[in-house]
C-alpha cells in the first residue's frame, strides 16, 4: 500500500428526550440512566485510559440534541446520581447475600466495585458534567464529535424545506453552544437519505455523513471504489458507506462477537430473579419490576433463560482480548485484499454503530473498543482515524447522486413506515405546515406571541423524532410512544390556537416549558418561509 489504510469507528449516541419532572419516578427515564452507566460514562473512562497510556487513534462520536439536553439537565443529573446511590447500596447488600455462593459472588463483587467507581467518577472527576468530558477529548483531538439532525427525525418524510432546515439548524446550534466548535460531520437519523437532503447539510457547512452501503452501491453512477472511498453528492457532501463485513462482526448477536457464550446475558436481570422485597430499592416504588442493569448470567448458548450459567467477568475479559485481536487482524487482511484495486489511494473502512451497542446491549463492548485501539496502536498497517481525516488525506473523489436508503431492515424505510405507524405522518406533516405558516405570519409581532411560537417549535421537533414510530413498529413501549405523540400534537394544536386567537393560557404554557425544556434558545425564524 502507498499509504496506511484508514479505519473509522463511528458511534452514534442518541436517546429520545424523556424528562418527567411531574413524576418523582418515571420508568422511561431509566433509558437515560442505564445508557449513562453502561455506555456514556464507560466510553469516557476508556478515552481517559487511552490518553493516560499514550495510545493514539481517533474515535468519531455523534451526540444527538435530545441526548445532550438530557446530559446537561440538572434535574436528570440529580436523579441519575440518586439512582447510582441506590445501586451501590443494593450491591453492598448483594455482596453479603451471595457470600459463600461460588456461582454469584464474583459477579456481585464486580458490580459493587463497578458502580462505586462510576459514582465516584461521575461526581468527582466529571463534577456531574458528562458533556465537559466529551468536550475535553474533542479539543485534545482524541475524539471527532459530530452533531445529529435535530431531534432525530426522518428528514425525507418531512413536508417542507423550512421544517427540514429548522431541524438541521436547531441541532447544529445546540452542538455549537456546548462545544464552541463547528462539527465537520452530521449524523442523519437512521442514516435516512434521499436526493436533496444533502443541500440542507451542505448549506450549514457540514462536510460528511455516513450511509448504509445501499446508498453507495445503488448510486446513480457505480462507485469506482465501492464503500472503500466516499462519494460526493451533488451539493458537495462526502458520503461514507457502511462496511457490512467489518460492522457485522461487531453488531450481529448471531454471527458476531456479542453472541459469545462467555459474555453477559442481556435478557436476564437480578431484579426479576430475587424476591420482590429484596429488590424493592432498585425498582419502581409501586412494585413494578424493571431491569436494574445487574445481570448475573452469561449467554451460555441457545438455552432457556432459567438455564443460563453464572457470569464470570474475568473470563469475559479474556474473550474481549481474543475478539479484539481477531477484529484487528481481519481489518489488516481486508485492507491487503482491496489495496490493489485502490490504485494510489489508501482504502477507507467505515464502521458505524449505535453507541448504545457498546456497554448496554453488549456489556463488554466498551472494553472491546479499548482493546481494538490498543492493538491498532501496535500496527502500521492502518490508522484508526475519522472520515474527516480521510478527506484531508485524499482530496479527489467520485461525484454522483446517492441512492435513497436507511440503515434499517432491507436498507429502506419499512421500520419507520408501515401499516402500524403510517398514521403518524399525516398529523406530523400538518403540524409542520402549521408551524411554518404561523412563524411566517406571526413571528416578531410581540414577545408573548414569540414565546408561544418557541414552545410550539419545541413540541413539533419532539413529535418528529424517529423514536416514536420505531417503538410502535417494534412493539416495545407502544403505549408510552403513543402518549408522547398525542401529548405533543395536542400541545401544538392548543399553542396554535393561542397564536391565532391572541389569548395565552399562561398556566398551560408554563407547564409545557417546564417539562419540554430543551432548545432554550430555539430560533423561530428557522421555520419561517421568509428566511429561505
User: Does 190 participate in catalysis according to the annotation?
Assistant: yes
Closest to 250 measured CA to CA, from 328, 318, 337: 328
The residue-averaged pLDDT of 152-175 equals 97
Instruction: Quickly state the pLDDT bin for 2 (edges 50, 70, 90).
Output: low
What distances in angstroms separate CA 182 from CA 131, 139, 235, 344, one per listed residue?
Answer: 16, 12, 19, 31
pLDDT tens, position by position, 423-446? 999 999 999 999 999 999 999 999
pLDDT tens, position by position, 377-386? 999 999 999 9
The residue-averaged pLDDT of 68-95 equals 97
What distances in angstroms separate CA 71 from CA 18, 63, 516, one per listed residue?
Answer: 11, 10, 14
Do residues 249 and 256 make contact, with C-beta atoms less than 8 angstroms apart? yes
Q: Residue 58 corresponds to which cell in the numbers above? A: 481517533
Show the beta-strand stretches assigned E in 341-473.
348-354, 382-385, 398-399
DSSP for 308-349, written as a single string:
PPBP-HHHHHHHHHHHHHHHHHHHHHHHHHHGGGGTTS--EE
pLDDT tens, position by position, 322-368? 999 999 999 999 999 999 889 889 999 999 999 999 999 999 999 99
Whole-model pTM: value is 0.96
State the total domains in the chain: 2
Do residues 67 and 187 make contact, with C-beta atoms less than 8 angstroms apart? no
d(CA 303, CA 305): 6
Range of the domain at 473: 423-531
Whether residues 455 and 392 fall in one domain = no
pLDDT tens, position by position, 396-412? 999 999 999 999 988 99
Closest to 508 measured CA to CA, from 491, 488, 487, 496: 491
Per-residue pLDDT at 254 exceeds 90: no
Instruction: Quickly state the pLDDT bin for 268 (edges 50, 70, 90).
Output: very high
Whether residues 165 and 235 fall in one domain = yes
Whether residues 59 and 134 fall in one domain = yes
Domain stop point among 354, 383, 411 = 411
Instruction: Quickly state the pLDDT bin for 532 (edges 50, 70, 90).
Output: low
Domain with 432 in it: what CATH number?
1.20.1430.10
User: Does 370 participate in catalysis according to the annotation?
Assistant: no
The residue-averaged pLDDT of 95-113 equals 95
Q: Residue 108 corresponds to which cell in the numbers above? A: 456481585
Whether residues 406 and 427 fall in one domain = no
d(CA 460, CA 467): 14
3-class secondary structure, 168: helix
Whether residues 438 and 400 fall in one domain = no
**Within a 13 Å sphere around the CA of 432, how many CA atoms are in the beta-carbon half?**
25
Q: Does 506 reside within a domain?
A: yes
Q: Does 87 reside within a domain?
A: no
Whether residues 455 and 399 fall in one domain = no
d(CA 332, CA 378): 12
Per-residue pLDDT at 173 exceeds 50: yes
pLDDT tens, position by position, 129-140? 999 999 999 999
The residue-averaged pLDDT of 164-190 equals 97
d(CA 387, CA 135): 19
Whether residues 389 and 452 fall in one domain = no
Strand pairing report for 398-399 and 231-232: parallel
Closest to 242 measured CA to CA, from 223, 208, 214, 218: 214
Give residue 297's Cα distance to chain centre. 26
Do residues 456 and 496 make contact, with C-beta atoms less than 8 angstroms apart? yes
Domain stop point among 411, 434, 468 = 411
Burial category of 40 from C-beta neighbours within 10 Å (exposed 0-12, middle 13-18, buried 19 and up)? buried
3-class secondary structure, 435: helix
Interacting residues of 308 by C-beta distance below 8 A, sequence separation 6+: 265, 268, 297, 298, 299, 300
Q: Does 175 reside within a domain?
A: yes
pLDDT tens, position by position, 38-61? 999 999 999 999 999 999 999 999
Identify the pLDDT of residue 251: 80
Give CA torsion, residues 121, 123, 126, 127, to 10 deg: -170
d(CA 277, CA 38): 25
Q: Which of 150-164, 473-487, 518-532 has the lowest mean pLDDT?
A: 518-532
Q: Does 359 reside within a domain?
A: yes
Whether residues 207 and 258 fall in one domain = yes
Instruction: Quickly state the pLDDT bin for 91 (edges 50, 70, 90).
Output: very high
Instruction: Check 48, 354, 401, 500 and give the catalytic one.
Output: 354
Instruction: Check 173, 190, 198, 516 and give the catalytic one.
Output: 190
Per-residue pLDDT at 253 exceeds 80: no
Closest to 530 measured CA to CA, from 432, 449, 439: 439
Q: Does 23 reside within a domain?
A: yes
Domain stop point among 411, 441, 471 = 411
Per-residue pLDDT at 1 exceeds 70: no
Q: Does 286 reside within a domain?
A: no
Whether residues 380 and 427 fall in one domain = no
Identify the pLDDT of residue 255: 79
Phi, psi of 114 (to 5 degrees): -65, -50
Mean pLDDT, the chain, integer: 96
Domain with 41 in it: what CATH number?
3.20.110.10
Whether residues 403 and 427 fall in one domain = no
Whether residues 194 and 258 fall in one domain = yes
Per-residue pLDDT at 292 exceeds 90: yes
Compute the residue count for the chain: 532
Identify the pLDDT of residue 248: 87
Q: Residue 284 corresponds to which cell in the numbers above? A: 419502581
Q: Does 112 reside within a domain?
A: no
Whether residues 361 and 315 fall in one domain = yes
Q: Does 270 reside within a domain?
A: no
Do residues 245 and 350 make contact, with C-beta atoms less than 8 angstroms apart? no
Closest to 251 measured CA to CA, from 158, 328, 357, 164: 357
Q: Which of 188-192, 287-291, 494-498 has the lowest mean pLDDT?
A: 287-291
Closest to 122 measured CA to CA, from 228, 40, 231: 40
Q: Residue 411 corresponds to which cell in the numbers above? A: 436498507
d(CA 295, CA 299): 11
Amino acid at each position: 500500500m502507498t499509504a496506511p489504510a484508514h479505519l473509522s469507528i463511528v458511534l452514534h449516541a442518541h436517546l429520545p428526550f424523556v424528562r418527567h419532572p411531574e413524576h418523582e419516578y418515571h420508568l422511561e427515564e431509566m433509558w437515560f440512566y442505564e445508557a449513562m452507566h453502561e455506555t456514556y460514562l464507560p466510553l469516557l473512562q476508556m478515552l481517559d485510559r487511552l490518553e493516560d497510556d499514550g495510545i493514539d487513534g481517533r474515535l468519531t462520536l455523534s451526540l444527538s440534541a435530545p441526548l445532550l439536553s438530557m446530559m446537561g439537565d440538572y434535574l436528570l443529573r440529580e436523579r441519575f446520581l440518586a439512582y447510582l446511590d441506590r445501586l451501590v447500596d443494593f450491591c453492598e447488600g448483594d455482596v453479603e447475600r451471595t457470600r459463600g455462593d461460588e456461582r454469584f459472588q464474583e459477579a456481585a463483587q464486580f458490580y459493587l466495585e463497578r458502580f462505586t467507581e462510576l459514582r465516584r467518577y461521575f461526581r468527582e472527576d466529571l463534577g456531574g458534567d458528562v458533556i465537559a468530558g466529551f468536550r475535553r477529548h474533542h479539543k485534545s483531538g482524541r475524539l471527532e464529535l459530530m452533531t445529529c439532525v435535530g431531534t432525530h427525525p426522518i428528514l425525507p418524510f418531512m413536508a417542507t424545506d423550512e421544517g427540514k432546515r429548522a431541524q438541521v439548524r436547531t441541532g447544529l446550534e445546540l452542538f455549537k453552544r456546548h462545544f464552541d466548535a463547528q462539527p465537520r460531520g452530521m449524523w442523519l437519523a437512521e442514516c435516512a437519505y434521499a436526493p436533496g437532503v444533502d443541500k440542507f447539510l451542505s448549506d450549514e457547512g457540514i462536510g460528511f455523513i455516513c450511509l448504509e452501503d445501499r446508498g453507495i452501491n445503488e448510486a446513480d453512477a457505480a462507485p469506482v471504489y465501492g464503500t472503500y472511498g466516499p462519494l460526493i453528492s451533488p451539493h458537495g457532501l462526502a458520503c461514507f458507506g457502511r462496511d457490512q463485513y467489518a460492522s457485522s462482526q461487531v453488531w450481529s448477536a448471531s454471527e458476531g462477537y456479542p453472541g459469545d457464550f462467555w459474555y453477559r446475558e442481556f435478557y436476564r436481570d437480578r431484579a426479576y430473579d430475587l424476591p420482590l422485597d429484596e429488590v424493592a430499592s432498585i425498582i419502581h416504588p409501586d412494585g413494578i419490576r424493571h431491569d436494574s442493569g445487574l445481570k448475573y448470567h452469561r449467554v451460555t448458548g441457545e438455552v432457556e433463560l432459567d438455564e443460563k450459567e453464572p457470569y464470570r467477568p474475568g473470563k469475559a475479559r479474556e474473550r474481549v482480548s481474543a475478539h479484539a485481536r481477531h477484529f484487528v487482524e481481519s481489518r489488516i487482511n481486508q485492507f491487503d485484499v482491496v489495496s490493489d484495486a485502490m490504485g494510489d489511494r489508501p482504502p477507507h473502512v467505515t464502521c458505524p454503530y449505535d453507541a448504545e451497542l457498546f456497554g448496554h446491549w453488549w456489556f463488554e463492548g466498551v472494553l472491546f473498543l479499548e482493546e481494538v485501539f490498543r492493538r491498532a496502536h501496535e500496527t502500521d498497517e492502518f490508522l484508526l482515524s475519522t472520515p474527516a481525516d480521510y478527506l484531508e488525506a485524499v482530496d479527489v473523489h467520485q461525484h454522483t447522486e446517492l441512492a435513497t436508503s436507511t440503515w434499517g431492515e432491507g436498507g429502506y424505510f419499512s421500520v419507520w413506515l408501515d401499516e402500524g405507524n403510517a398514521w403518524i405522518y399525516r398529523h406530523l406533516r400538518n403540524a409542520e405546515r402549521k408551524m411554518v405558516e404561523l412563524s411566517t405570519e406571526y413571528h416578531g409581532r410581540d414577545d408573548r406571541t414569540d414565546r408561544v411560537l418557541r414552545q410550539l417549535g419545541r413540541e413539533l421537533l419532539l413529535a418528529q423524532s424517529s423514536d416514536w414510530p420505531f417503538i410502535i413498529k417494534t412493539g416495545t413501549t407502544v403505549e408510552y410512544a403513543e402518549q408522547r405523540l398525542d401529548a405533543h400534537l395536542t400541545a401544538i394544536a392548543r399553542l396554535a390556537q393561542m397564536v391565532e386567537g391572541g389569548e395565552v393560557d399562561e398556566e398551560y404554557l408554563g407547564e409545557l416549558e417546564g417539562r419540554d425544556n430543551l432548545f432554550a434558545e430555539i430560533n423561530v425564524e428557522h421555520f419561517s418561509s421568509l428566511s429561505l
